[in-house]
Structure 1
Amino acid sequence: MTHHDEAAVRPLTLAWVRRHLEVGERIVSADALHGGITAELRRLTISTRDGGTRDLVLRTFVDPFSVQRAEDWLNREVCALTQLAGTDVPAPGLVAVDPTAAHCEYPSLLMTHLAGRPVLNDEGLETRIHLLARQLVAIHAVRPIERPREYVALTTADTVVTPKGADAGAWAAAIDVIRRPAPPCEGRFLHRDFQPGNVLFDVPSPRPEGARITGVVDWAAASWGPADLDVAHCSTILALLHGPAWGPRFTEAYEEAGGVLATAASERLYWRVRDGLACSEEVQQVSQPWREAGRTDLTRRVVEERLDAYVTALMTALG
């Protein structure tokens, strides 16, 4: 096997992967994939018996925080990929999983590779907004035979990190919103981290308006809960990536695509504010992969300012 040094597959994991290949297949290269926050990602190129090649993706959880949670995350992902097989949602196919590192050095997942790439730049954004909205409506329409576990919202009023220089009054009011009990909701199948970094696109050059979605990845947080929560998360990330006005624009596009959200303004506000405040705790974690992917303009300070503007706008418009 040839590979870049940074993409070397560990010996036990390499042997595990080989056991899950077809007879006569072999790994010919491994390349690091960038953009993941919680795990290492590698694309493995496999030489097939007919002289061709195919690609697999290996996800490995290595840092202590992720290793402790890997069994739950991987079991969720396996359940989601199994449920999505045969649906119209373009998700990877499951090949093998080792959630407790019984065979590999670290908990690992092996799955099929999907064509396309995440697109984080501003060009062609209006087109992608509508594609993202339609894709999320399709995800929420999935009726799984076995429901995934209930969603988890870890942010509390006491863990919010108010950005330096933020509108103190707006943030205090927003924090008060999430002190309330979560509103009742009709459950839906949730991705739980649906955002541009986890959606693969084919964008023809020089026609970004001809873009199409080729895959949705990273189902480790798949859950059962309110559609508002997935919409709120994608809205927040779009506001941070492209500017505060794009958050509400995605919510509008979701409803234009046939998605159904909470009727009461207070309930919509709850979910949007909760997700915005959750991002306050992860600004550096969220923005670092964006800079590595070429969005060097998204410094921590820029992202904090956009988050402040977004939360303030939510409180002004919906509060």
Structure 2
Amino acid sequence: MERHLADGERVEAVAPLAGGWTSEIRRLTTTAGRGLVLRTFTDAFFLRHAEGLLTREANVLRLLAGTDIPAARLLGVDATAEHCAYPSLLMTLLPGSVRVTDEGAQTRAAVLAGQLARIHRLPVAAADRPRTYQPWTTPARVRRPERTGRPGLWEHAIAAIDREPPPHRALFLHRDFHPGNVLLDGDTVSGVVDWVETSWGPADLDVAHCATALALLHGPAAGLAFPGHYERAGGALSADAADRRYWRLLDALAYAPDAEKVATPWRTLGRTDLTPSLLQARLEDYLDGLLSR
């Protein structure tokens, strides 16, 4: 960090930032009044993948520096913990805050969709393209909840993704775009964070991931409505209904057998109503809504 501070500048305050669960995030304030963010991987699982994750995020932040995407500016990265106790990345602090309340959720969904469409329109040279997307589940890996009264629903959903991925036009994906990774200042997106999973793949997959998060956070109707917001914002999805359903089910089923872990950071932001039973009910109702369309 010291190599990226001005002469005489030093860190005078450190405060944890809530809202994430894969890494520790700290806000640093310097004697020059600058705000910085230090991202550190300390969990055993993520430590094994830290070099690839942080190297990818650093490359993406460099790529985004010359665009209109509101991303942090990279200051330094130590992906192998050569200088730090743990693998870490240093970047600038973005304004705004994460919003996860039900109040205003529909308006925010339209704002999120507009930002996601702008990300997908980003022109990326072949040499700068991130890795090809990786599915986060397969039919064989899906585990339905032990305490479900709807086993047939799960079987139907799993069967619907038991096929080859649909043909698609690949483009630049955030790959983990959801309300917890978007900062808002008023009704404007002031920052998009967490670029470690950035990939090259179908727009449907990014839209599906945000839709699942909205279904869990605000209810199934919010998730089902999000693709419409995206298309009204100028985004293009698969023309075939079965293909669109495939991508949405593929993402939703990755939360099986429960969606407990995704709600952990949301609870730290005040959403203590998101109990395991509520999340399972919302996930199953969302699956049912996708299969009914």
1:97–1:22: structure 2 CA closer, same or farther, 3 Å change rule?
same
Moved more, 177-186 or 94-103: 177-186
- Mapped contact 2:106–2:222 kept (Cα < 8 A): no
**2:276 pairs with 300, 315, 319, which one?**
300
Scaled by the length of structure 1, the TM-score of the pair is 0.89
**2:68 pairs with 75, 88, 93, which one?**
88
1:223–1:234: structure 2 CA closer, same or farther, 3 Å change rule?
same
Which residue of structure 2 lines up, in the alignment, with residue 286 of structure 1? 262
- Mapped contact 2:258–2:279 kept (Cα < 8 A): no
Residue 154 (1) aligns with residue 130 (2): no
Letter matched to residue 14 of structure 2? A
2-side partners of 1:185 and 1:59: how far apart?
34
1:281–1:95: structure 2 CA closer, same or farther, 3 Å change rule?
farther
Map 1:152-301 → 2, pairs under 5 A: 152-163=134-145, 164-203=147-186, 211-281=187-257, 283-301=259-277
**1:73 pairs with 46, 50, 53, which one?**
53
Number of positions where the alignment pairs a residue of Structure 1 with one of Structure 2: 290
- Mapped contact 1:167–1:312 kept (Cα < 8 A): no
2-side partners of 1:301 and 1:100: how far apart?
39
| Displacement of 1:65 | 0.3
2-side partners of 1:74 and 1:172: how far apart?
37
Structure 1: give runs of 5+ residues left out of the alignment. 1-16, 204-210
| Displacement of 1:69 | 0.6
Residue 25 (1) aligns with residue 6 (2): no
- Mapped contact 1:43–1:58 kept (Cα < 8 A): yes
SS in structure 2 opposite 1:116?
coil
Scaled by the length of structure 2, the TM-score of the pair is 0.96
Provide Cα deviations, 1:85-136, integer angstroms capped at 9, x if missing partner.
1211100000000111111111100000001111000111121111101000
SS in structure 1 opposite 2:254?
helix
**1:140 pairs with 114, 120, 142, which one?**
120
- Mapped contact 1:159–1:281 kept (Cα < 8 A): no
Structure 2: give runs of 5+ residues left out of the alignment. none
Moved more, 79-88 or 251-260: 79-88
Q: CA RMSD in A?
A: 1.1
